Amino acid sequence: MIDLQRLTIAIVGSLMLSAAMSAPVDSAKADDSAKADSAAAPDDSGQILMVIGAPGTAEYGEQFATWARRWDEVAAKSEIPMVVIGRDQNGKPNDRERLRDAIAAIEADGVAPVWIVMIGHGTFARNVAKFNLRGPDVSASEMAAWLERVDRPVVVVNCASASGPFVNRMSGKKRIVVTSTKSGNQQNYSRFGEYFARAIASPESDLDHDDEVSVHEAFLRASADVRAFYESEARIATEHALIDDNGDGKGTPATMFRGTRAIAKAKDGAALDGPVASRVTLSPSGLRLPFTAAELQERAAIEVEIEQLRTRKTDLTAQAYDELLEPLMLRLARIYQAAEKRSDTLKDAPR
């Protein structure tokens, strides 16, 4: 929905600037406000926990290393710390224990999301889905249990074959789960991880032109590229990615969206996934605006209100809809204006 935000910001920008210039400024209050914003932003930029699984062959190992390097790049540009498991020489503890310990080290509470990115192969047998590690594998149920205590946004991107059941096991409140297959029975080598890594690291995936790439945008771009690959090779597609962000454990395929908008409804009438994932982003361009934690929370809340309003659009007159939408967009404009001003100040600050 950022495309509409940007349009509104452009329309109301001059009006807001004029009002700001004509209004008296209380410098003491301005200083207090700036301090309050700073205090509201915890020292918590989130993190990426990347797990590189057992490659099986040297060829797969080279491919996984290439995908991982793309994540290195986007993490650096987004200025988000990244922990990598599976890249160094194997030893003690094994990678399963390292993953368990890394998840145990995640702060349970926070505003910024933790990304868990899984690159490798997977298996599904006796109704148990596992991700293949060097040494003992890890199941979806085990990872879900390790994450039970974490009450903050978590993004799980499982790029392995047979990863579909991870949606069922790991879905939940404040969770976004992306899998490269729709079920455990899609056990052939999955290419989704390659295309997702490209998508999240490419400004071209930024469909709404906000200098950030969301989980949803990367999912849609990667899914389209996977379809294009199989079509160009005249092969039957053996992988169909899913995204889940509403906690129902079902997942939604990319074919149910046009652009970023849902064009279909679930069979039971439930809401489709996507809105939450569209608000969790990385910045491959390195141009992310310096929002405070309070601003990010407010922006998310406003976007939820806008999404809810859009579902009622057909029940409202055009005038009523605009009257309800305008104050929400003005609030968004103020958030972006404050962040852009802060960005300009940081650029001008002596180094």
State which of 234, 250, 282 marks the end of a domain: 282
Q: Examine residue 23 and state whether it is found in any structural domain, yes or no.
A: no
When pLDDT is cut at 50, 70 and 90, the band that residue 346 belongs to is low
Give me the number of domains the chain comprises: 2
The answer to whether the beta carbons of residues 176 and 215 sit under 8 Å apart is: yes
What's the pLDDT tens digit per position in 67-93? 999 999 999 998 899 999 999 877 788
- Mean pLDDT is lowest, of 37-46, 97-106, 306-315, for 37-46
Is residue 18 domain-resident? no
pLDDT tier, 269 (very low <50, low <70, confident <90, very high otherwise): low
Q: Answer yes or no: do 298 and 276 share one domain.
A: no
d(CA 95, CA 74): 24
pLDDT at 136: 96
Residues 349 and 220 both lie in one domain: no
88 and 141 co-located in one domain: yes
Average pLDDT over residues 222-226: 97
Percent of the chain with pLDDT over 70: 82
3-state secondary structure of 238: coil
Q: What is the mean pLDDT of residues 199-204?
A: 92
pLDDT of residue 80: 93
1 compared with 166, residue with greater pLDDT = 166
- Say how many C-beta atoms besides its own lie within 10 A of residue 237's C-beta: 14
Task: Assess if residue 39 is contained within a domain.
Answer: no
Give the other-Cβ count within 10 Å of 225's Cβ. 17
In tens, the pLDDT along 139-168 reads 999 999 999 999 999 999 999 999 999 999
Both 187 and 128 in one domain: the answer is: yes
Which residue stretches of the chain are H helix? 2-22, 27-40, 58-78, 95-104, 140-146, 165-170, 192-200, 215-232, 293-311, 318-348
Indicate whether 176 belongs to any domain: yes
Domain that holds residue 250: 47-282
pLDDT of residue 258: 82
Q: Which residue type, as a one-letter code, is found at position 126? A: R
Task: Looking at the structure, tell me whether residues 221 and 351 fall in a common domain.
Answer: no
The answer to whether the CB of 105 falls within 8 A of the CB of 98 is no
pLDDT for residue 349: 63
CATH number for the domain spanning 138: value is: 3.40.50.1460
